[in-house]
A and B are shown apart, each in its own frame.
Chain A
Amino acid sequence: EAEVAQSPRYKITEKSQAVAFWCDPISGHATLYWYRQILGQGPELLVQFQDESVVDDSQLPKDRFSAERLKGVDSTLKIQPAELGDSAMYLCASSTPRDTVNEQFFGPGTRLTVL
């Protein structure tokens, strides 16, 4: 069964350092999402891509976060500089509409710890 791949699975960094996360969606899925999930809370959408274009980045802290999906396939989320409050699980998901259902398939996530 096709899956969304993410790497690394775990990342520990010091504050003010730069970090980057990678996501490879399910083949053929045009829509890609990055979420941040703080422990004990629901996922918060950071950015949504349709192919290589950003559809929604209204909740992305643009002073330190950036995301790209240059060829409309895999994607990278970057944080520079990292802050203590960025410690969270970063989830990537992809989807393709099937009839009227838009099911998102999530990857295993990257657990970020900022020291």
Chain B
Amino acid sequence: LAKTTQPISMDSYEGQEVNITCSHNNIATNDYITWYQQFPSQGPRFIIQGYKTKVTNEVASLFIPADRKSSTLSLPRVSLSDTAVYYCLVGLYSGAGSYQLTFGKGTKLSVIP
């Protein structure tokens, strides 16, 4: 199973850009990184997924450096509603189209007015 490390918590003011980094030092070329957001008493919700370099969608960007030992979720201009726990998920390719999935322990983001 992959070993991932995330900061336990982060604080940010509204309107600021937030970057959350996940360390995963044993992933290979076919392995992917996904980020999920979770509010209390709800299931996680998909934010973004990538394999390398940079991926951007309407809510976030994901940066993966060349050595792929970490990835950074970037949330532009956060609002109070972005207060949640953010998890990185590493999918380790195990052959035949299958992946071993490991969630990190999560980063609790608190957005301050």
Closest to A55 in B: B98
A residues less than 8 Å from B104 (CB atoms): 42
Partner of A56, one of B51, B100, B106: B100
- How many chain-B residues does the 8 Å CB contact rule pick out? 23
Give 1 or 0 for each of A73-104: 1 = CB within 8 Å of chain B CB.
Answer: 00000000000000000010100000011111
Contact of A41 among B32, B51, B100, B105 (CB under 8 A): B105
Query: Are the CB atoms of A102 and B43 closer together than 8 Å?
Result: no
A41 touches B106 (CB 8 A): yes
A102 in contact with B87 (CB, 8 Å): no
Number of A-B contacts (CB under 8 A): 56
The smallest beta-carbon distance between A75 and chain B, in angstroms, is 15
- Does B29 count as interface, using CB distance less than 8 angstroms? no
Per-residue A-contact encoding for B33-58, CB less than 8 Å = 1, 0 else: 01010000111111001010000000
Given known contacts A55-B98, A56-B98, is B46 in contact with A43 (CB within 8 Å)?
Answer: no
What does the 1/0 interface line of A102-115 toward B look like (CB < 8 Å)? 11111111010000
Considering the complex, which residues of chain B in the window 10-37 have a beta carbon less than 8 Å from any beta carbon of chain A? 32, 34, 36
Contact A100 B91, beta carbon cutoff 8 Å: no
In the bound complex, what is the Cα–Cα distance between A111 and B45 (angstroms)? Answer: 18
Mask for B85-109, Cβ within 8 A of A = 1, else 0?
0010001001000111111111000
- Are B87 and A43 closer than 8 Å at their CB atoms? yes
Q: Which residues of A contact B41 (CB under 8 A)?
A: 108-109, 111
Chain A contacts to B: CB under 8 angstroms: 4, 33, 35, 41-45, 48, 50, 55-56, 58, 91, 93, 100-109, 111
User: Can you list 18 pairs linking A and B with CB atoms under 8 Å apart?
Assistant: A33-B101, A41-B105, A42-B105, A42-B106, A43-B87, A44-B103, A48-B101, A56-B94, A56-B100, A91-B44, A100-B51, A101-B49, A104-B36, A105-B46, A106-B42, A106-B44, A107-B43, A109-B43
Q: Closest 3 interchain pairs by CB?
A: A106-B43, A42-B103, A103-B46
